[in-house]
Every structure is written in C-alpha cells, then in structure tokens.
C-alpha cells in the first residue's frame, strides 16, 4: 500500500496555546489549546482510546459528555491495521468517526513492557510483535512518520521509560537516550498542523528531571509532558516528583502529566500547574463495577444497592444518572450485561471531564481553592504538609 498522510479537515486551525487565567493562590492555570480539529479548554482530561476507540463509548457519546481531546496509541495502531492503512482511509479522525482533537502516545511504554521480546539500542527498539510474533523495529523517525500518517493533532515522541526502582545508571542511560531520540524526532517532524510534545524523564531523581527538562527545552517542542510516573512508585513519590517537575517547564507551553490518576490526584496536579491528563482508571474501574461520584466511590455489586432507586450520583448530569437507578445498574453488572460497562463508563468519563470543567470555571472565578475542597482536596493542608517536609 502506498504511504498516505492524512490532512486536516476544512476550517482547520493553526496549533497554539493561550493562557487565559491563573489562580492567585496556587499554580493552577486556565488555557485554550488550539488544534487543527478545534479548541481544547484546559485543564483537560483525555479519555483513553488505545486502539482508536474508548471501550464501550461511541464517538458521539464522548462528544456529548464534553470530551474535546482523546488519546490513542500509535504503537498499537501501527501494528494493526497499520499507519499506512489508516492514512489511506483519511487518517485516524476519519477512520474512527471523531471530529475533535486526538493525541497519540508513541507506544514506547508498551514496547518497553514487552519483557523478553525486545532489544533497545541507541538507534531504536527491536521487538517481537505481540500479534503475530514477527520481528519489528521502531526508530524515533518511524514513530514520527507513523503519527504524521495518522494525522493526529498532538504527537508524543518516542522515549525510554525506566521502571520504578531502576538503578541510577539505567535511569541516566534512559535519560541520555530520550534526549537523543527527542532531537531526532524534532528534526524528522514536518507537519505544521500537528503539535509535537517532548517527554521529561529522569526517574525519581530531581537532578535528572531538571537535566531532562532543560535539554528538551533546548530542542524546543510545542508542549512538554512528564512521563515515567505511575510505573510502580509510591503515591507520595508520584505527587512529589510531578509537583517538582512541572515547575521546570515553560509557562507559555502546555504541560501534560501522563497516566495519572485518581480524581483527587488530578485536582492536586491542576493546582501544581499541569494542563492535560489521561488515565485508564475511569473506564477500567467502570468495567469492574466501580463508579466515581461526588459522594465518593460506589461499588455497584454491593448489596446495599440492591433496592436503591437513586442514581449513582444525585449531583451528576450524565445520561446514566438521568435514566437509571443503582438497583438496575447492580442488576446489569451481576448478570454480566454489556450495558453495565457502557453505562458506568459513560458516567465515570463524564465525572472526570466535568470535574475539569468545574476547575476551569473556578480558576476563572477565583474560587479554585473552594472548588478543590468540595472535591475532597484541602490545599491548605497539603501546603502545610509540604512545608514540614
């Protein structure tokens, strides 16, 4: 098949990022990320659609619950059906029927998770396909090319993410390699309608994080992500490293925290100054029968919900809460009905996306601290704890 690169649709916009408001009592920011497929209001949460689909949720349902940006995985899409195939069909937006913005992760984390099936060199990653066992090779340039064929709005570079607890020499080697790959990725990138983000690595070492952030800014990217967290380290370490690293990133560029986390963690990291988030938690937990609500977590299989006619969350505006009781949702889950996962996923994603909407409004109105408290996060207490450390 001939190589085909998707083009942005009519009325596309030049990528840019504009800060619109700041919270005077924290580092929280309110901005607009303009992409080739429309604006993304920040802080923003991205539902995860690894294979070009958010499990159990149709594109129009994602639109209706307020999602403006979703995440897909360039590695998985390149493996099947292939970046060339998707490009020939008009790009990922056309392929999956999603007209708003898409960010693709490079898939580096997934490749490095193929234990015993891959070899990493300075040139790239040689690995065995998890689909058919064939030997494949991805270079930084290959990853850039694949994402340009997909026609996504934001492309993440190939990076090396060391596991939690890796020896310092391994973290240093991964940092050096990530910087080298970042430079090659930037040189290979050619689409003016596609933003490219660098990824800060460095494990739990503040000095290595600072070095990585400095080197990436020297290369110059459209935005910056913090990677290498939620890979097995403790929660306190995640919070400390994330909060430290965000201060190393330029104010005028979007800041993305990869793979984190709980609703409470997102509030804390918005307060720290991050603009973008993704996490599989709302959809994965939904499939396991757990819902996030304004009153805390609800495990729908519990007997207390057997005769409950109230919605998952009386304060929620999602279609699940507007139409179904806890008793019915419990019935669906216990009987293995597919509708259970669909309805709970719709609710959880609405909860996450709407939480970001509430925080954006609070930053604009100067009520961020009070809004955070209403979501169970006491910023005063957190600041006191940080001062004592």
Q: What CATH number is given to the structural domain containing 35?
A: 3.20.20.105
Give the C-alpha separation, 88 to 85, whole Å: 5
| Angle at 144 (CA atoms; ends 125, 119), nearest 5 degrees | 0
Q: Are residues 160 and 260 in the same domain?
A: yes
Which residue numbers are catalytic?
Answer: 105, 278
For the entire predicted model, the pTM comes to: 0.95
Q: Which of 331, 317, 257, 322 shows the shortest CA–CA distance to 289? A: 331
Q: Are residues 173 and 291 in the same domain?
A: no
Question: CB neighbours (10 Å) of residue 51?
Answer: 14
Q: Considering the domain boundaries, does residue 362 fall inside one?
A: no
- The predicted pLDDT at position 6 comes to 53
The first and second tokens of residue 214, run together, are 């400095």
- The predicted pLDDT at position 345 comes to 99
Task: Check whether 32 has a pLDDT greater than 60.
Answer: yes
Q: Considering the domain boundaries, does residue 373 fall inside one?
A: no
| Angle at 210 (CA atoms; ends 205, 212), nearest 5 degrees | 95
Q: Considering the domain boundaries, does residue 327 fall inside one?
A: yes
Q: Considering the domain boundaries, does residue 3 fall inside one?
A: no
- The predicted pLDDT at position 299 comes to 99
When pLDDT is cut at 50, 70 and 90, the band that residue 118 belongs to is confident
Task: Check whether 386 has a pLDDT greater than 70.
Answer: yes
Q: SS3 of 373, please? A: helix
Domain termination residue (choose one: 279, 303, 330): 279
What would the pLDDT profile of 273-289 be if each residue is shown by its tens digit?
Answer: 999 999 999 999 999 99
- The predicted pLDDT at position 11 comes to 45
Give the C-alpha separation, 66 to 368, whole Å: 20
Q: How many domains does the chain have?
A: 2
What would the pLDDT profile of 1-31 be if each residue is shown by its tens digit?
Answer: 344 445 454 345 789 999 999 999 999 999 9
Q: Considering the domain boundaries, does residue 382 fall inside one?
A: no
Higher pLDDT, 6 or 299: 299
Q: Considering the domain boundaries, does residue 139 fall inside one?
A: yes
What would the pLDDT profile of 191-216 be if each residue is shown by its tens digit?
Answer: 999 999 999 999 999 999 999 999 99
Give the C-alpha separation, 166 to 109, whole Å: 15
Higher pLDDT, 14 or 122: 122
Question: CB neighbours (10 Å) of residue 169?
Answer: 8
Q: Are 239 and 204 in contact (CB under 8 A)?
A: no
Q: Are residues 162 and 273 in the same domain?
A: yes
Q: Are residues 234 and 208 in the same domain?
A: yes
Q: Are residues 24 and 103 in the same domain?
A: yes
Domain that holds residue 211: 16-279
Q: Are residues 245 and 294 in the same domain?
A: no
């Amino acid at each position: 098949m001939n190589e085909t690169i998707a083009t942005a649709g009519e009325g596309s916009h030049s990528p840019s990022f504009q800060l619109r408001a700041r919270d005077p009592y924290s580092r929280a920011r309110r901005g607009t990320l303009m992409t080739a497929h429309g604006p993304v209001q920040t802080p923003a949460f991205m539902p995860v659609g690894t294979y070009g689909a958010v499990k159990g949720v149709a594109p129009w349902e994602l639109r209706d619950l307020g999602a403006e940006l979703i995440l897909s995985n360039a590695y998985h899409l390149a493996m099947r059906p292939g970046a060339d195939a998707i490009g020939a069909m008009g790009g990922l937006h056309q392929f999956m029927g999603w007209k708003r913005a898409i960010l693709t992760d490079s898939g580096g984390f997934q490749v490095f998770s193929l234990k015993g099936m891959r070899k990493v060199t300075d040139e790239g990653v040689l690995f065995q396909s998890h689909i058919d066992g064939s030997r494949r090779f991805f270079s930084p340039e290959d990853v850039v090319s694949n994402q340009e064929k997909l026609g996504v709005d934001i492309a993440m570079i190939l990076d090396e993410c060391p596991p939690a607890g890796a020896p310092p020499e391994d973290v240093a080697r991964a940092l050096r390699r990530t910087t080298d790959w970042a430079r090659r990725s930037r040189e290979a990138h050619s689409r003016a309608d596609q933003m490219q983000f660098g990824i800060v690595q460095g494990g739990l070492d503040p000095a290595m994080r600072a070095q990585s952030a400095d080197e990436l800014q020297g290369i110059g990217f459209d935005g910056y992500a913090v990677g290498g967290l939620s890979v097995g380290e403790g929660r306190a370490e995640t919070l400390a490293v994330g909060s430290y690293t965000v201060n190393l990133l330029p104010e005028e560029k979007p800041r993305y925290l990869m793979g984190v986390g709980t609703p409470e963690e997102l509030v804390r990291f918005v307060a720290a100054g991050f603009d973008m988030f993704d996490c599989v938690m709302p959809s994965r937990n939904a499939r396991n029968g757990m819902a996030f609500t304004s009153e805390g977590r609800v495990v729908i299989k519990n007997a207390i919900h057997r005769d409950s006619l109230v919605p998952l969350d009386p304060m929620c505006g999602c279609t699940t809460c507007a139409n179904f009781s806890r008793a019915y949702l419990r019935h669906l889950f216990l009987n293995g009905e597919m509708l259970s996962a669909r309805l709970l996923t719709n609710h959880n994603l609405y909860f996450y996306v709407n939480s970001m909407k509430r925080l954006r409004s609070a930053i604009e109105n100067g009520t961020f601290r009070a809004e955070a408290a209403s979501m169970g996060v006491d910023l005063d207490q957190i600041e006191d704890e940080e001062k004592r450390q």
